[in-house]
């Protein structure tokens, strides 16, 4: 995606919030106020395991790709 955007002339790329670890929007992890369900624990574990270290190998790869393609990155939080 980075290379394609650069080939189309992009100079600044912006990831939407939680794009990299794919935050499971809409999941409450079984933790509604006053409640806790076992299914929520397994959902949260899956979410936790998809997280990346910052800095870490994934951010190094993103940085290298940005450098190689001559683009800059931003991160959007709404």
pLDDT < 50 regions, the chain? none
Domain boundaries, the chain: 2-75
Question: Which pLDDT score is estimated for 34?
Answer: 60
Q: Distance between CA 73 and CA 62 in Å, rounded?
A: 9
Q: In the structure encoding, which two tokens stand for residue 69, read together?
A: 């393609």
Query: Which residues, 6 or more positions from 40, have their beta carbon under 8 angstroms from its beta carbon?
Result: 28, 29, 30, 31
pLDDT at 47: 80
pLDDT at 77: 57
């Amino acid at each position: 995606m980075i290379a394609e955007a650069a080939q189309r002339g992009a100079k600044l790329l912006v990831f939407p919030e939680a794009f990299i670890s794919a935050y499971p929007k809409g999941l409450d992890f079984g933790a509604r106020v006053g409640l806790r369900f076992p299914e929520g624990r397994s959902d949260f574990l899956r979410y936790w395991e998809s997280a990346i270290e910052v800095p870490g190998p994934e951010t190094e790869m993103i940085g290298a790709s940005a450098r190689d393609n001559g683009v800059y990155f931003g991160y959007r939080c709404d």
